[in-house]
Amino acid sequence: MFRVHPKTVSRWVSSGKLSAVRTLGGHRRYRASEVYALLDESGIGAPVDTIAP
């Protein structure tokens, strides 16, 4: 979706650019509203209108 390396997304979480919640299995979950806002403001990744909910 972002078209960046997963480490980059982890760095965004560390820097506060994006927030994440860890599942019991250790995976990260992101708020859709934050993801869409980041895609919109940064101009990276897939266009928001092409992403299925």
Identity of residue 20: A
What is the residue extent of each domain of the chain? Answer: 6-44
> Can you say how many angstroms the Cα of residue 22 is from the centroid of all Cα atoms in its chain?
14
pLDDT, tens digit only, all 53 positions of the chain: 777 888 988 999 999 999 999 999 999 999 989 988 888 887 766 555 655 55
Q: Could you tell me the end-to-end alpha-carbon distance of the chain, in angstroms, rounded to an integer?
A: 12
Spatial distance between the Cα atoms of 46 and 24, rounded to a whole number of angstroms: 29
The confidence score (pLDDT) of residue 36 equals: 85
Q: Provide CB contacts within 8 A for 28, sequence distance 6+.
A: 10, 13, 20, 21, 22
Q: State which H helix or E strand residue 11 sits in.
A: helix 6-15
The answer, as to whether pTM is greater than 0.75, is no
